[in-house]
Amino acid sequence: MSSKPSFHHTRRILLGAIAACVAAGSALAADYNEHSFKLGHVIADDHPAALGGKRWAELLAQRSGGKIKVRVHGNGTLGGDTQMTSAVQGGVQELGIITSSPMASVVKEIGLLDLPFTFNTAQEVDSVLAGPVGQAIAARMSDKGMVVLGWMENGFRSITNSKRPITRIEDLQGLKIRVLQNPVYIDAFNTLGANAVPMPFPEVYPALESRAVDGQENPLGTINTSKFNEVQKYLSITRHTYTPYVVVISKKVWDKLTPDEQQLMRETAAEASAYQRDVSRKSEARFLAELKQRGMQVNELSAAEAARMREKLAPVISKYSKELGGELGAQMLAEISKVRVSAK
């Protein structure tokens, strides 16, 4: 003998069905057209930023009902960061996860983020990028043909080389160090006594392998996933600068999207960026352990020596904080101070 379903049971089923219909209806109500976008980055496919790009592509496909398709091109197959920046500006490449530093040739203010020994923690960076300084940089990027949809983490940078550990400033004397194509990095490493060699990222591994350069500087995630341990013996944890990745869409493409599509691009980029930063920060200890296991000789720069380096770089920091941002530079330093006070 079958019993009738209770009133509450039936009500739960009906409410569930209504909720499902509303969710489906809101997705269907959104105005999504068919799009096929290229997303480029320069790093290896197992790097946290590559995983963030993959997540973004998946979210867009899911939430657009398959209408917005993103093909991810990693490992610099669309070119280096500078080349991709131009391609995004021109609308030839729709999407990019691009290292912030080379973009300073287009939007000088983004170079403020490269000032050496300025950020101590990722929380300081997050606060600056989420606040008025990040918004001002994004506004200038938009003026130059790129709409900022998010910030992913590249991370705090350290130095590798094939000659010796870097335990003090003097150890950098005469070393040919590949740096980003950015005047702050060039001046900083030359001031510390190294010979700075600016170079697009896809050329770095071959240059290290052929000994055209002695070393390079990058966050641990990039050093690990790019397998620089194969061509570099020494890793010195200096954390001299922090670099984010900028998640951008070409303004030429953006302006042709519907409001619903623009909202979807923003929401999914923000979600993928938060996921990526979390993965990056949780992976750092593993990256370091793996580099040690693969035979890299690791040393950590002492606080006293970091202070010496910062003092030596004071003229570079002062010069570029004024040149690149003026009032914006002062605003950034004030925001960092505020975070430090609240963290105490």
pLDDT in tens, 6-32: 545 545 555 555 544 444 444 445 789
In the chain, where the domains are located: 32-343
Q: Count of alpha carbons within 13 Å of 40, Cβ hemisphere only?
A: 22
Q: What angle do CA 173, 159, 106 make, to 5 degrees?
A: 100
**pLDDT the model gives residue 133:** 96
Contacts of residue 74, defined as CB under 8 A and 6 or more positions apart, other chains included, come to 40, 41, 42, 43, 44, 45, 50, 53
Please write the tens of the pLDDT for every residue from 231-253: 999 999 999 999 999 999 999 99
Q: What percent of the chain has pLDDT over 90?
A: 89
Please tell me the distance from the alpha carbon of residue 169 to that of residue 176, in angstroms, as a whole number: 14
Q: Which amino acid is at 117?
A: F
Over range 304-315, report the average pLDDT: 97
Q: Give the CATH superfamily of 32-343.
A: Bacterial extracellular solute-binding protein, family 7 (3.40.190.170)
Tokens coding 143: 């003026």
Pairing of strands 234-237, 146-161: antiparallel
Please tell me the distance from the alpha carbon of residue 95 to that of residue 106, in angstroms, as a whole number: 17
**pLDDT higher than 90, residue 118:** yes
**pLDDT higher than 60, residue 72:** yes
Please write the tens of the pLDDT for every residue from 23-58: 444 444 578 999 999 999 999 999 999 999 999 999
Tokens coding 81: 């960061």
Please tell me the distance from the alpha carbon of residue 204 to that of residue 226, in angstroms, as a whole number: 10
Measuring CA to CA, which residue among 235, 226, 234, 179 is closest to residue 206?
Answer: 226
Let me know: does 208 contact 234? Beta carbons within 8 Å: no
**pLDDT the model gives residue 13:** 54
Please, what's the largest Cα pairwise distance for the chain? 91
Handedness of CA 221, 223, 225, 226 (dihedral sign): positive
Measuring CA to CA, which residue among 97, 129, 123 is closest to residue 110?
Answer: 129
Let me know: does 28 contact 203? Beta carbons within 8 Å: no
Please write the tens of the pLDDT for every residue from 177-190: 999 999 999 999 99
As beta bridge partners, residue 40 has 73, 96
